Amino acid sequence: MTNSSALTAGARVAALLAIALTSALAAPALAQRGGGPPPRDIRWRHIGPDGNRAIAVAGEPGNPAVMYVGAASGGIFKTENGGISWTSIFDSHEVSAVGALAIAPGHSNIVWAGTGETFLIRPAHAMGNGIYRSDNAGKTWTRMGLEKTGRIGRIVIHPGAPDIVFACALGHAFGPQPERGVYRTKDGGQTWEQVLKVDEKTGCADLAIDVTNPQVLFAGMWPLEINTWGLNSGGPGGGERAQAGRSGPSRCIRPGPPLREQQ
């Protein structure tokens, strides 16, 4: 795989995930503002933390001073003063890649972290070892399973029931794997159920819940296999899938592109 093809694949994936992320965040943000238009003329400035690329960001609703950042291979950082200073809060665990963060609505002390890097353009990206939960705003963390999922790209929490949590698993991506797909817990992480599986070559890259109707979820599926000698990205299992109801079947509402093999 040439550098140009890797960068092209990476740019394509980043663009797709950025679109999915925007869609996932738009609904809760508008709901918090009462449906008003998004702010204009936003000016960006660097506030830290210093280090490698950030994958996941979560802010405490109603308290703009508190934010969490998950790094590709640097753990989790937290600020309680709007970014003036940052504290590393995940160093005691044997994993450094954090791909997803979520704060339970109405329960800001409950924070979830999914491990593993999901922005894949080369096979050297850091692997995860499951999903973690903190019940004290990041002071301590407990691993709550999903160790074999490899890379967790998104965590969504039911807006009215903090014990109902969904996690999307991309998988280790080095070959076929049964643990790819979407998982749900209804008991705060004590047990997990795989509620969406397309096939062993297709993982979940992004996930969103309709906060006005939490029975509706949308999952972005990504067929992916990456090795030292090449990258296979896309295929018939990919696309956007929607599920309505507690146990209803998912349906594909936007199929994925054909398989692309890049050397």
pLDDT tens-digit series, residues 13-23: 333 333 333 33
Banded pLDDT at 258 (limits 50, 70, 90): very low
**What CATH number is attached to the domain comprising 169?**
2.130.10.10
| Distance separating alpha carbons of residues 70 and 75, to the nearest angstrom | 6
Q: What is the pLDDT of residue 253?
A: 44
| Distance separating alpha carbons of residues 104 and 198, to the nearest angstrom | 28
Q: What is the pLDDT of residue 32?
A: 39
* Region for 82 from its dihedrals, namely left if φ exceeds 0, alpha if ψ lies in -120 to 50, beta otherwise: left
- Against a cut of 0.85, is the pTM above it? no
Boundaries of domain holding 154 = 3-31+54-262
Q: What's the distance, Cα to Cα, between the start and end of the chain in Å?
A: 3
| Distance separating alpha carbons of residues 164 and 247, to the nearest angstrom | 14
Mean local confidence (pLDDT), 158-178: 92
CB 189 within 8 A of CB 224: no
Query: Is position 38 within any domain?
Result: no
**CA nearest neighbour of 217 among 197, 238, 241:** 241
Query: Is position 37 within any domain?
Result: no
Cβ-in-10-Å burial (0-12, 13-18, 19+) of 105 comes to middle
Query: Is position 44 within any domain?
Result: no
Query: Is position 178 within any domain?
Result: yes
DSSP-derived pairing of the beta strands 260-262 and 142-143: unpaired
CB 208 within 8 A of CB 104: no
Q: What is the pLDDT of residue 16?
A: 35
Mean local confidence (pLDDT), 153-180: 93
CB 128 within 8 A of CB 151: yes
Q: Which two tokens stand for residue 209?
A: 């819940």
Cβ-in-10-Å burial (0-12, 13-18, 19+) of 133 comes to buried
Q: What is the pLDDT of residue 238?
A: 65
Mean local confidence (pLDDT), 20-42: 52
Query: Is position 43 within any domain?
Result: no
Q: Tokens 């309709």 appear where?
A: 210
Query: Is position 14 within any domain?
Result: yes
Banded pLDDT at 81 (limits 50, 70, 90): very high
Query: Is position 36 within any domain?
Result: no
For residue 251, give the DSSP letter: E
